[in-house]
Amino acid sequence: MTEKSFFEKHVFFCCNQRAEGEGCCNNFGATDVRNYAKDKVKALGLAGEGKVRINNAGCLGRCDDGPVIVIYPENVWYTYVDKEDVDEIIESHLKNNQIVERLKR
């Protein structure tokens, strides 16, 4: 018997902070963008059991592609420049199950 996942989609924002001078996702404001995404997903009614969960993660090992997020269970990796990119990911991927090819990494 296959057990159903607690969340339909689980989104991990790399919010890793390295020592000063070293590249990392949090140098691009990843924590602020994650907070923005979490609030937006809640406001849209997409958050909660059986729906979408926004989490922060430590280093996801893709600093050169940063800032990055990964969405499971699809295993889709994205990069973003600003909140408008995250809005597009929320609208297209989280709401409508459409991968945003231009942001995919």
pLDDT tens digits for 69-88? 999 999 999 999 999 999 99
Closest CA to 104 of 63, 73, 75: 75
Q: Which domains does the chain have, with CATH numbers?
A: 9-103 (3.40.30.10)
Find the Cα–Cα–Cα–Cα dihedral 99, 65, 85, 10, rounded to 10°.
Answer: 60
Find the Cα–Cα–Cα–Cα dihedral 9, 38, 17, 21, rounded to 10°.
Answer: 110
Residue 54: strand pairing partners: 11
- List phi, psi (to 5°) of 87: -60, -40
Closest CA to 75 of 30, 26, 24, 10: 10
Confidence (pTM) = 0.92
The 10s digit of each residue's pLDDT in 22-70 is: 889 999 999 999 999 999 999 999 999 999 999 999 999 997 788 999 9
